[in-house]
Structure 1
């Protein structure tokens, strides 16, 4: 039975009118403080020393992958590279969040987003435009969460499915048992990826604009019948081989 990818696409269309950004109320920006990095706590949180005390700073306008999400390790590693221990940073607070700038003028929040290892979130307004500009650049350059070359991203999963469909469609039914079995297994693996896409959510989806999600899912919808048909045909041929 085919998965209802049409319902999946409809769900994306239903959400197309809304932004992936989450809006929260923030306080007025607090005074700027010069601090030193103690350590990176996760992909969007940094511990800094301000005078004689340390505090955890959560980056404003930054939604980075959680520990169990695609590209979490890469995002955390980049943040660690940008902010090694002892780095002097300017902390500009906005409500419960903050922007971190290095002494050479780099806005760390935007740098992380610009590499496609985080997406903008609207929990502050002062640095939001820079976050969006960085995200537009990452999308255009297909970096990180926007890259079809990264298997765990949404574009990467869709590419894997469509390429698998092309491979199994090209497989003749007169091949060897090994060739036919490998092709059938390839189709089965791709079908498993389709099933995963039937449960949209998380940062891999938030990173892709609703209209682009619709385009990607249309590609999947087109090849799903091929995957099911070819797997069944290949399995039947293998069964008949002696």
Structure 2
């Protein structure tokens, strides 16, 4: 039976050593990176398209789609010599320095593990855990489109409008009311969970994040109404 031994290297590099059949297919170089999980490679005169095993990268409409593709292109510049190991219809790709590219992309927070193969799934999960701990990419509250980022925007907006006195200029009060309205719009979006932004976050962490949102929703609605009423009374 085919077997693979995976060993972690320092930092976010991952080493893959294949010790049994099927033997890795050494491909001369990368021809093109098509998106965050698809590449084309050239072996002699033949160009073959591959999907990365255990990698689910953001689709065109999803958060960090472009960043994922850019990162994969950085890991696999055109002409890079690589080693390809098949796992069913999918592949694992490693570079000459031993980096397992599948895991490196997930470790950067720009993809999540996909259960479409078994040989490298443990390494993908390990990389995902590392990205979550370090709050990288899809796990970062500093990136507005991620789930943590949306929750931060909502809670910070609630704090800002709550701090806004009802005595102020018409412009100040209108801006605060609009801030509350925008945050309420984000809350409505979170009412329809799904997609990679949610898949990147563990269920227990989703619960914690949504509890923060639930706590501030009444403040947003109350404060927006109060601010709008005051604005109406101003000339």
What TM-score results when the alignment is normalised by the length of structure 1? 0.87
Counterpart of 1:196 in structure 2 is 189
Select the residue among 21, 25, 32 that pairs with 1:33. 25
Alignment of 1:1-242 (within 5 A): 30-35=22-27, 36-242=29-235
Q: Distance in 2 between matches of 1:192 and 1:41?
A: 34
Q: Which SS does the other structure have where 1:60 is aligned? A: coil
Moved over 2 A (4+): none
Alignment gaps of 5+ in structure 1: 1-28
Per-residue deviation at 1:69?
0.5
Q: Which SS does the other structure have where 1:151 is aligned? A: coil
Between 1:123-132 and 1:186-195, the stretch displaced more is 123-132
Per-residue deviation at 1:51?
3.2
User: Is the CA contact 1:33–1:50 (under 8 Å) kept in the aligned structure 2?
Assistant: no
Alpha-carbon deviations, 1:76-128, whole Å to 9, x = none?
00111111111000000001100000000000000000000001111111111
Per-residue deviation at 1:50?
2.2
* RMSD after superposition: 1.2
Alignment gaps of 5+ in structure 2: 1-20
Per-residue deviation at 1:30?
4.3
Q: Distance in 1 between matches of 2:198 and 2:182?
A: 21
Q: Distance in 1 between matches of 2:190 and 2:39?
A: 33
Q: Distance in 2 between matches of 1:129 and 1:52?
A: 34
User: Is the CA contact 1:30–1:95 (under 8 Å) kept in the aligned structure 2?
Assistant: no
What TM-score results when the alignment is normalised by the length of structure 2? 0.90
